[in-house]
A and B are shown apart, each in its own frame.
Chain A
Amino acid sequence: MTTRAAGEPSLPTMEPNIQVHQLHKRYGRTVAVDGLTFTVRPGQVTGFVGPNGAGKSTTMRVILGLDRPDTGTATIGGRPYRSLRTPLREVGTLLDAAAVHPGRRARDHLLWMAHSNGLPRSRVDTVLEMVGLTDVARRRAGGFSLGMRQRLGIAGALLGDPPVLMFDEPVNGLDPEGIRWIRNLLRSLAGQGRAIFVSSHLMSELEDTADHLIVVGRGRLIADTSVRDMLAAASGGRVVLRTKDRAAAMTRLANAGATVAATGPDELVIGGLPADRVVNLLSQAGVPFSEVAGHRASLEQAYMDLTRDSVEFSGAVKESR
């Protein structure tokens, strides 16, 4: 026995996180994951985005020890998943909402999960309540709608009250109300200090939810960045200007060395000049303008630009613009 000073944690506290290092996984000739390295940190929602077939689900299966990587490691708080004795207390996951026995009652589905980790029966009722399935708990999962199954899957993830949560496309097929519910849930779970890892093939689904983004394409890391930085990089410090006298403004600003593009009858996007210089120049020249603002690129557009080269199944016929 060692004595410890008061206030010192009695256990070596390992940050609850997910670490993926140099991960490679191929299925036959298909390279699914090609050298991924990233960390999912506590206290924030980390979005895992990439086009279809980018390797998101594969990465998650490897993290869970379901699929064996060819090389590289994936750990939870520094430990491989397969070495966890009661994994549901450490990582909650929803991989596939359809992965329930259709003939088993919702409550019994959670009950066997609870038993698998020595969790008390009361947790089952708690999580049923949290996801709003209490009233249908005695119904068989086979009769559940997609939204109800997603909720059941999320209940299973929350069962062990884990500090790390991982969801694969949780809003797939949900109605707007369900999407909003999941968003709020993810935000509040992250607010409690948990590490939340959530995948989607659509950036728009994560735009308002994620703090951090891991963007993948064809199994490779394309970006590992905060949402704020990604937006800033996408807008490139450009300025949007509204003016009645578009021609005069364009001439004046171009002469000052800015790149100017007309994006509407009274709208210009200006690069190469900060907003205060734009205001000064136009005021001096007596060019009327009504609005100067930082250009807000949509995350979706930034994402499309990033992943354009790595979309696996882009249509043969390009959509006309």
Chain B
Amino acid sequence: MYALHMEWTKLRTVATTGWWLLGLVACTVGLAAFVSSTVDAVNCAPRCDFDLPRLSLSGVYIGQIAAVALGALAVTTEYDTAMVRTTLAAYPRRGAVLAAKLAVVTVVVLGCAALGVLGSLAVARGILPGNGFTRANGYPPLSLGDRATLRAYLGTVLYLGLIAILSAGVGATLRNTAATVSMVLGMLYVLPIVIPFLPTGAWRDALYRYSPMSAGLTVQATRGLNALPIGPWPGLGVLAGYAGAAVLAGALLFRLRDA
């Protein structure tokens, strides 16, 4: 319990935490508003084939950068200043320290992700009808009452939490803020940028399945699931696998290495 209290106090007493959390919510909602306002039901006839819930969750593509930063910083700021020695002198059980860091940052990211995702839902519901996506035209408003939509929204919250965990795990391994953030952003963005340029086929599908971001965000899909290389929950599972491996490596090194 002392470890949790310690890490919670650390997290809430630096201003950067607040800014990144604000960034997480603002980017998620802001991008949702932007994307919602760019789609128009008039341009596609007879019927638009958009995956509207997924469109409304586009903000995560940028918002996740904040989750990466928060997860990394929870661990790496301690190494930027050698403060980790103060921490471990105050609380020598290293497994508990890392677990407390993960718990605290994950809970905070999940909370803000939930806010961001609900904000996205609200702006999408506000903007989409104005662009022709009305019930009269055959587009019921986005609703968490719909099972697939609920899964997309809930899955996105979990996705952001897992991103923070992944980043913290890599942080415990690399012990450097810049290196950790570059590494995680590389892991996330490189494959999704490359994949569209590859010829369709088994190779491309395999890369999609192994890309933490492509596979992980499959959880947002509500239409054409059969055409996707991996299912929504298994896709999120791939990201969880990456996060788990990173935490395992980080925890092992954290326990073994000199501080």
State the A residues within 8 Å of B (CB).
61, 64-68, 81-84, 86-88, 91, 93, 95-96, 98-105, 108-109, 111-113, 115-118, 156
Contacts and interface: CB of A to CB of B under 8 A. Distances in A.
B47 interface: no
A140 to B, nearest CB: 9
B85 A115 contact: no
Contact of A96 (B85, B87, B92): B85
Nearest to B86: A99
23 contacts: A64-B85, A64-B88, A64-B92, A66-B85, A66-B259, A82-B93, A86-B2, A98-B82, A99-B83, A99-B85, A101-B10, A101-B14, A101-B81, A104-B13, A112-B7, A112-B10, A113-B6, A113-B86, A115-B6, A116-B6, A116-B90, A116-B91, A118-B2
Nearest to A156: B86
A68 B90 CA distance: 17
B86 A84 contact: no
B81 A99 contact: yes
A66 B89 contact: yes
Nearest to A83: B92
Nearest to A66: B259
B258 interface: yes
Contacts of B8: 115
Given A66-B259, A99-B83, 11 more contacts: A64-B88, A65-B88, A82-B92, A84-B92, A86-B2, A87-B89, A95-B85, A98-B82, A99-B82, A112-B13, A116-B90
B75 to A, nearest CB: 13
Contacts of A118: 2
B77 interface: yes
A115 B92 contact: no
Contacts of A88: 89-90
A67 B259 contact: yes
Interface residues of B, number: 27
A104 B83 CA distance: 12
Contacts of B14: 101, 103-104
A112 B9 contact: yes
Contacts of B5: 115-116
B16 interface: yes
Contact of A87 (B7, B82, B90, B259): B90
A71 to B, nearest CB: 15
B121 interface: no
Nearest to A93: B89
Nearest to A108: B13
Contact of B9 (A95, A103, A108): A108
A219 to B, nearest CB: 16
Contacts of A61: 85, 258-259
B15 interface: yes
A88 B89 CA distance: 8
Most chain A beta-carbon neighbours within 10 Å: one of B83, B86, B87, B259: B86
Nearest to A27: B258
Nearest to B6: A116
B13 A115 contact: no
A152 B89 CA distance: 16
Given A84-B92, A87-B92, A88-B90, A111 B13 contact: yes
A87 B212 CA distance: 41
A167 B92 CA distance: 18
Interface string B90-123: 1111000000000000000000000000000000
B3 interface: yes
Contacts of B82: 96, 98-99
Contacts of A81: 92
Most chain B beta-carbon neighbours within 10 Å: one of A66, A83, A109: A66
A105 B2 contact: no
Interface string B1-40: 0110111111001111000000000000000000000000
B173 to A, nearest CB: 18
Contacts of A103: 14-16
B90 A117 contact: yes
A303 B16 CA distance: 48
A108 B13 CA distance: 6
6 closest pairs, A vs B, by CB?
A: A108-B13, A116-B6, A112-B9, A67-B258, A116-B90, A115-B5
Contacts of A83: 92
